[in-house]
Amino acid sequence: MRKLLLLMIVVGLCGWSVSALRRNAQAGVRLGPVYEGFAQIRMTIQAGSRDLELVVIGERPTEAECQKPNGGVEMAMACPPGAQCAIKSYECTREIDPRYQRMLDMQPSTTHYVHFRVPEGDRTRRMVMVGWGMTEAESARMCERARALVPSTPLKDKLTASCI
């Protein structure tokens, strides 16, 4: 039961991340100026006796996304039945923790994480998703699920997801 619940969390959040990248890539053109920094969303997940924290960091969110952070609400909707999820924070900032910058640069970490890339004009937008508190096997499974979802998105020819 516990493994099934965790798998549901992973699948839901991977789907949310892929759809957020797709939406942001499309909206970046329509919603105006880009914030030259990072959007960071943190969500706590309590599943049974487990406490996890999911962190998603993306480069260059639009100014509109930073002023009206809908992503946190949408991310919370990915919470599966039986788990308790709460958005801990949603912020746009010029600087991020150095470990997340290393993840955006695709460098190894103490846990597996998902690295997304999508070209936007002459630049590439990067995003990472990491689940703190997951076992090595769970974080590896999260990566593989995210990679498997890419071919089903409208951005399948542009979007890449890597497991690091």
pLDDT digits (tens, 9 = 90+) for 104-118: 999 999 999 989 888
Task: Indicate the average pLDDT of the chain.
Answer: 76
**Highest mean pLDDT pick, 7-16, 48-57, 73-82, 118-127:** 48-57
Which structural domain, as residue segments, surrounds residue 66? 2-163
Q: What is residue 2's three-state secondary structure?
A: helix
pLDDT at position 98 over 90: yes
What pLDDT score does 77 carry? 65
Identify which has the larger pLDDT, 48 or 77: 48
pLDDT-above-90 percentage for the chain: 15
Strand pairing category for 50-59 and 160-163: unpaired
Taking the C-alpha atoms of residue 40 and residue 122, their distance in angstroms, rounded to an integer, is 23
pLDDT at position 78 over 70: no
| Number of domains comprising the chain | 1
pLDDT at position 100 over 90: yes
Q: What is residue 48's three-state secondary structure?
A: coil
User: Averaged over 86-109, what is the pLDDT?
Assistant: 93
Taking the C-alpha atoms of residue 136 and residue 124, their distance in angstroms, rounded to an integer, is 29
User: Averaged over 80-96, what is the pLDDT?
Assistant: 85
Taking the C-alpha atoms of residue 44 and residue 79, their distance in angstroms, rounded to an integer, is 10
pLDDT at position 12 over 70: no
